Amino acid sequence: CRTGSISSGAVQPTWVPFSSTIAHRRRLHFALDVYDSTWSSRLHQPTYSLGELINIEASVSADPRLPLRVFVDECVASPSAAARLKYEVIADNG
C-alpha cells in the first residue's frame, strides 16, 4: 500500500494554444482532483494499492465565453516528484 499527495502543480498545457486562448492564458487554471468511489467527496490524502481503481478529475477553468475541454494523454504516479520510480495511471492517449 502506498500513500502520497496529489498535486496539480505539474499540470500544464502541452500544446501551442490558439490565438484566442493566448489572450486568456493568464486566466487558465488547471486542476487534478481525486475522488472517492462514489464521486461524492474529494480526497486530500488518498492511499491506493497497485491495481486499484482511482477516480481522477482533470479540469480547466477559464472565462465562461471560452469553452474548453481537457484531454489527458498520459498520467503517472510516483512517491515524489523527484523519484525515478513511476507507475502509469493513464497511458496511450487516455
pLDDT the model gives residue 45? 82
Low-confidence ranges of the chain (pLDDT < 50): 1-2
Please say whether the beta carbons of 78 and 87 come within 8 A: yes
* pLDDT reported for residue 20: 54
Task: Give residue for cell 502543480.
Answer: 9
**C-alpha distance from residue 35 to each of 6, 45, 55, 77 (Å):** 11, 10, 5, 16
Query: For 27-63+70-93, which CATH superfamily applies?
Result: Zona pellucida, ZP-C domain (2.60.40.4100)
Residue 1, pLDDT score:
46
Domain ranges of the chain: 27-63+70-93
Cα–Cα distances (Å) from 54 to 22, 43, 65, 74, 93, in that order, read 33, 11, 32, 14, 17
Per-residue model confidence (pLDDT) at position 16:
60
